Amino acid sequence: MVQGYSKTDLCGVGFAPEQAEFIAVRVQSAVAATGTALSTAATSDADVVYISSVHASNNDGFKIREGGAFSRKQVVINGTASTLKLYPPNTSSSINNRTAGASIDIASGIAAAIDTISNTQFWVRT
């Protein structure tokens, strides 16, 4: 389920479009991680994503959303008892200057804050 305040909602109650764009937040809860490769990993365009299911036997994955340089931050929360594999959005992108297309592990109960540095570079802090 996606919740939050959209730009349209905020403009409707008197915020200027520029203000609304800055503070609008979309939250998606109960997301199931899927797949063990970048091509089969789950994804979401929400700003905050709560992962509620990861198969312990294969450490399912989640793919960061695509974004331009210095685009909106995304936060992925691993709310499971298993390790989550976090992938860049495509095979030419990298996380924390690692190999392009490679995942990083997000431990159980950890939130990952994702900054978009460029179309192909993402920085993840846990």
Distance CA 16, CA 60 (A): 40
Question: How many of the other CB atoms lie within 10 Å of CB of 99?
Answer: 9
pLDDT at res. 60: 94
φ and ψ at residue 19, rounded to 5 degrees: -65, -45
Can you read off the two tokens belonging to residue 37?
A: 């490769």
The answer to whether residue 103 scores a pLDDT higher than 80 is: yes
Question: Domain limits of the chain?
Answer: 26-125
- The CATH number given to 26-125 is 2.60.120
pTM of the model: 0.84
Distance CA 92, CA 27 (A): 27
* Percent of the chain's residues with pLDDT above 70: 90
Q: Does 93 or 27 have the greater pLDDT score?
A: 93
The answer for 36, left when phi > 0, alpha when psi is -120 to 50, beta otherwise, is: alpha
**pLDDT per residue over 28-55, tens digit each?**
899 999 999 999 999 998 889 999 999 8
Contact 31, 52 (CB under 8 A): yes
